[in-house]
């Protein structure tokens, strides 16, 4: 088991390195510079000023030297200073934006689990009834609908028409619609997974045994069916969380949330290299970590996984 | 009379036998797919959208990008006060006919659903076939590369790609489409490679493959004639789920303002352009959003139908 965990942990290093390298060279192979009129929003800098900026941020050095310096600093979580928001480090900027995104992501995940699992169990226990078909239909549609389309409809119906929620990002109420928009797809996915998993568990021998012992139906369902069927469901929580974290990029745009997603898009349009790199690495780190946690948890739950690789 | 009856029976049996014989995997799957109402509705809708995309120049009442001299910007659709039949669904903020732009937008969605998937299938399937057929150390090396690409969050890569090359000739060509194709192709092939590789690994142990080897067929021929045809069913299912993924990715990127370049109309970019006036004219945001949603649902129905039709054993 220890060996398995170690291998998984070590595997994250080349992945993160690759993300850093690809991002770095893609960014720097792009035509134009952060001091262009396009990037700064209309101001064309003086050539001498540009040269001095380039010197200050090390952009005049050979690319490979910049790359080496970047990797060295990144290992110590030093991602440099922002080009556009002078005097602020990338770490500070991420620190300002991330809490918003994290709150939305966690709330969405909570909604997805709190709605998805009961709906899935309900559908499985009433297999092939109207309730089952209805929930199957609704989950298919909600799983298929793009996040941002759901977000737009929620915004138009509940903020613009009914005025129940603020249109601009203001207080705690502003978190609700983004979380619902983001969590709907995951809720549907979890519901479908729970349903098929519960159906499988219902046919299991140990459930037949439990029934043969004369246990109450309720006890059988709660103790023997649901508990066993939740294992595969728990394993999608990790990827779901990772998906929710990157999913906020689009959702934040709809609801005007000042989170990481908006930061990311802003930094791209203004060619703020350090912020682009920092945010990308941060996203990749979260995704890799949530996959890692799932892999390890899976290894604990299912011994076959450990030995097969 | 008995003779006649016997005769009738035998022809019936013969016909039954013949019709059974003629039913292969594909015609069987097609029959099952046709029975699936949702899948048929999805197919019809997709067919309709393909026609709209093909005949856009004849269907659209106006030029999608030209600004007419007599039109006002942001006029409402015909059913609202101030709407006219000249511009049935109104005009956008640059006074361009909204209906025409929606019609031309279908072109972008359809082409984004077709071209990248062709590239992805070519790369992914060949890669998987080679890796699965060679096995051993080569397979190990090839699959590690797949793992690394898989770990790279694709939305992030799309965004970075757009950021890096948007202003280059690659980003400018075809209104930004070329860059989208490249980005989708680079990230998309690994899933199919994995799938094909797994299929190939299990098929190469099968007796008919061993027999083909035993009679001296060269490897490329075995892979092409015996393995590839048997991996097609799961590949088709995977493709039917990948296509809406690309359509959605284009729409999302265009909604973020880093997909299709103006003035080209795509449903995602229309949502992006109309979003600032969402409180004033929500209908302009709703129309392209509904079209995006419908095409996604149509593909999901077809995908589900194909999966059930090609793999009847799969329990859902």
Q: Give domain limits for chain B.
A: 2-64+90-309
pLDDT at B189 over 80: yes
pLDDT value, residue B315: 41
- How many CA within 13 A on the CB side of residue B219? 8
Q: How distant is the Cα of B149 from the closest Cα of chain A, in angstroms?
A: 8
Is B292 at the interface with chain A, CB within 8 A? yes
Average pLDDT, rounded, for chain B = 81
The minimum CA-CA distance between B8 and chain A, rounded to whole Å, is: 41
SS3 of residue A113 by DSSP = helix
**CB atoms near residue A297 (< 10 Å):** 15
Question: Is B148 touching A (CB cutoff 8 A)?
Answer: yes
Nearest to A140 among B251, B257, B300 (CB): B300
Nearest CA in chain B to A147: B252
Helix B228-255 / helix B154-165 crossing angle, nearest 10 deg: 60
- Using DSSP's 3-state secondary structure scheme, residue A81 falls into strand
B91 bridge partner residues: B97
Q: Is the pLDDT of residue B285 over 60?
A: yes
Other beta carbons less than 10 A from residue A148's beta carbon: 25
Extended strands (E) in A32-94: none
End-to-end CA distance of chain B: 51
pLDDT of residue B313 exceeding 60, the answer is no
Report the pLDDT averaged over residues B246-256.
89
**Interface predicted TM-score (ipTM) of this complex, two decimals:** 0.79
Cα dist from A224 to A117, A201, A218, B234, whole Å: 16, 8, 10, 34
For residue A195, which of A141, A220, A232 has the smallest C-alpha distance? A232
Q: What is the DSSP string of A158-195?
A: IIIIS--S-SS--SGGGGHHHHHHHHHHHHHHHHHHHH
Average pLDDT over residues B201-211: 84
A26 to B279: CB separation less than 8 angstroms, yes or no: no
The residues, ordered by sequence, that sit 6+ positions from B128 with a Cβ below 8 Å of its Cβ are B192, B193, B194, B195, B196, B197, B198, B199, B200, B231
Instruction: Tell me the sheet residues that pair with A89.
Output: A81
Rounded Cα distance, A32 and A29, in Å? 9
Cβ contacts (< 8 Å) between A196 and chain B: which residues? Answer: 315-316
| DSSP-assigned beta bridge partners for residue A81 | A89
Structural domains of chain A, ranges and CATH numbers in brackets: 2-75 (no CATH), 93-299 (1.10.3720.10)
Measured CA to CA, the distance from residue B154 to residue B163 in angstroms comes to: 14
Element (H, E) at B208: helix B207-214
Residue of A nearest to B294 (CA): A145
Cβ-Cβ contacts under 8 Å between A and B: the total is 118
Interior CA angle at B137 toward B132 and B139, to 5°? 25
For residue B91, the SS3 value is: strand
User: Domain B2-64+90-309 belongs to what topology?
Assistant: MetI-like fold (1.10.3720)
* Chain B residues within an 8 Å CB radius of A149: 289, 292-293
Distance CA A5, CA A10 (A): 9
Using alpha carbons, list the distances in angstroms from residue B160 to A12, B101, B195.
21, 28, 27
pLDDT tens profile B51-110: 999 998 898 788 887 777 777 777 777 777 777 777 777 777 777 888 888 999 899 889
Query: In angstroms, what CA-CA distances link B284 with A158, B103, B276?
Result: 17, 14, 10
> What pLDDT score was predicted for residue A231?
73
Q: How many CA atoms lie within 13 A of A191 on its CB side?
A: 28
Report DSSP letters for A37-62, one per residue: HHHHTSPPPPHHHHHHHHHHTTTTS-
Q: Which of A29, A148, A167 sits opposite B279 (nearest CB)?
A: A167
Among A58-72, B25-39, B200-214, the least confident range: A58-72
**Chain B CB contacts of A250 below 8 Å:** 252, 255-256
CB within 8 Å: B292 and A153: no
Give B226's DSSP letter: I
Pairwise CA distance, residues B38 & B46, whole Å: 12
Chain B 268-287, residues with CB within 8 Å of chain A CB atoms: 271, 275, 278-279, 282, 285-286
pLDDT the model gives residue A31:
62
Q: How far apart are CA B167 and CA B162, in angstroms?
A: 9
Chain A contact present for B170, CB below 8 A: no
Q: Does B151 touch chain A (CB under 8 A)?
A: yes
In angstroms, rounded to a whole number, what is the distance separating the alpha carbons of residues A73 and A78? 5
Instruction: State the pLDDT at residue B316.
Output: 41
Please answer yes or no on whether A287 and B164 come within 8 Å at the CB atom: no
The answer to whether the CB atoms of B300 and A156 lie below 8 A apart is no
CB < 8 Å from B in window 198-217 of A: 199-200
Please check whether residue A69 touches B, CB under 8 A.
no
Half-sphere exposure (Cβ direction) of B229: Cα atoms closer than 13 Å = 9
The enclosing H or E element of A83 equals none
Q: Indicate yes or no: CB of A152 within 8 angstroms of CB of B151.
A: no
Full pLDDT tens readout for chain A, 309 residues? 778 788 878 878 888 888 888 888 887 776 666 665 555 555 566 667 667 766 666 666 777 888 888 888 777 777 777 777 777 888 888 888 888 888 888 888 889 889 998 999 888 888 888 888 888 888 888 888 888 889 889 988 888 888 787 777 777 788 888 889 888 888 898 898 888 888 888 888 888 888 888 888 788 887 778 777 777 777 677 767 777 777 788 888 888 888 888 888 888 777 777 888 888 888 888 878 877 877 777 777 666 655 554
Predicted confidence band at B120 (pLDDT cuts at 50, 70, 90)?
Answer: very high
Confidence of residue B25 (pLDDT cuts 50, 70, 90): confident
Q: What is the pLDDT of residue A309?
A: 44
Candidates A15, A155, A156; nearest CB to B151: A15
**Residue A163 corresponds to which tokens in the numbers above?**
């005025």
Minimal CA separation from A265 to chain B, in Å: 8
CB contact under 8 Å between B148 and A196, yes or no, is no
Residue B159 to residue A249, Cβ atoms within 8 A: yes
Residue B50 has φ and ψ, to the nearest 5°, of -65, -40
| Residues from chain B contacting residue A15 (CB–CB below 8 Å) | 148, 151-152
A167 close to B286: Cβ distance less than 8 angstroms? no
The predicted structure's pLDDT at residue B146: 83
């Amino acid at each position: 088991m220890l060996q398995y965990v170690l291998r998984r942990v070590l595997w994250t290093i080349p992945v993160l390195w690759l993300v850093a390298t690809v991002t770095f060279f893609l960014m720097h192979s792009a035509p134009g510079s952060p001091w262009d009129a396009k990037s700064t929003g209309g101001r064309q800098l003086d050539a001498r000023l540009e040269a001095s900026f380039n010197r200050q941020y090390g952009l005049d050095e050979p690319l490979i030297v910049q790359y080496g310096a970047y990797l060295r600093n990144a290992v110590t979580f030093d991602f440099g200073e922002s080009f556009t928001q002078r005097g602020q480090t990338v770490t500070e900027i991420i620190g300002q934006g991330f809490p918003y995104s994290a709150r939305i992501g966690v709330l969405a995940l909570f909604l997805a689990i709190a709605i998805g699992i009961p709906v899935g169990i309900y559908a499985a226990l009433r297999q092939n009834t109207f309730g089952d078909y209805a929930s199957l239909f609704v989950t298919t549609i909600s799983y298929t609908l793009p996040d941002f389309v759901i977000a737009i409809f929620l915004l138009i119906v509940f903020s613009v028409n009914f005025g129940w929620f603020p249109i601009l990002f203001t207080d705690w109420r502003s978190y609700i619609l983004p979380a619902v928009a983001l969590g709907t797809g995951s809720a549907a996915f979890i519901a479908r997974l729970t349903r098929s998993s519960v159906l499988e568990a219902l046919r299991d021998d140990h459930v037949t045994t439990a029934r043969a012992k004369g246990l109450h139906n309720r006890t059988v369902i709660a103790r023997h069916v649901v508990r066993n069927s939740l294992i595969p469901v728990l394993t999608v929580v990790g990827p779901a969380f990772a998906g929710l974290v990157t999913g906020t990029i689009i959702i934040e745009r709809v609801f005007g949330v000042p989170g990481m997603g908006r930061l990311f898009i802003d930094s791209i349009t203004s060619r703020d290299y350090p912020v682009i790199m920092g945010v990308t690495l941060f996203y990749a780190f979260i995704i890799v970590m949530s996959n890692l946690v799932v892999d390890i948890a899976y290894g604990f739950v299912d011994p076959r996984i450990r030995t097969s690789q | 009379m008995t003779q006649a009856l016997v005769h009738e029976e035998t022809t019936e049996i013969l016909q039954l036998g013949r019709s059974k014989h003629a039913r292969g995997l594909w015609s069987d799957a097609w029959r099952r797919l046709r029975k699936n109402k949702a899948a048929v509705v999805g197919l019809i809708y997709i067919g309709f959208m393909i026609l709209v995309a093909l005949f856009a120049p004849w269907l659209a009442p106006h030029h999608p990008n030209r600004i007419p001299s007599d039109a006002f910007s942001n006029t409402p659709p015909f059913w609202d006060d101030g709407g006219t039949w000249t511009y049935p669904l109104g005009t956008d903020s640059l006074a361009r006919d909204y209906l025409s732009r929606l019609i031309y937008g279908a072109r972008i969605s359809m082409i984004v659903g077709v071209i990248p998937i062709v590239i992805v299938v070519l790369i992914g399937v060949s890669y998987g076939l080679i890796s699965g057929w060679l096995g051993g150390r080569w397979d190990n090396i090839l699959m590690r590369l797949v793992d690394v690409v898989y770990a790279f969050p694709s939305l992030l890569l799309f965004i970075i790609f757009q950021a890096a090359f948007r202003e280059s000739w690659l980003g400018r060509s075809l209104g930004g489409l070329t860059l989208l194709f490249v980005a989708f192709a680079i990230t998309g092939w690994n899933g199919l490679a994995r799938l094909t590789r797994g299929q190939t690994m299990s098929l190469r142990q099968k007796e008919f493959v061993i027999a083909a080897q035993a009679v001296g067929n060269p490897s490329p021929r075995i892979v092409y004639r015996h393995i590839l045809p048997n991996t097609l069913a799961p590949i088709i299912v995977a493709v039917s789920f990948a296509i809406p993924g690309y359509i959605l990715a284009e729409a999302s990127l265009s909604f973020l303002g880093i997909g299709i370049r103006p003035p080209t109309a795509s449903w995602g970019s229309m949502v992006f352009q109309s979003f600032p006036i969402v409180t004033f004219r929500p209908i302009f945001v709703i129309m392209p959003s509904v079209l995006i949603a419908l095409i996604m649902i149509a593909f999901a129905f077809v995908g589900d139908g194909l999966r059930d039709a090609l793999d009847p054993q799969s329990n859902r």
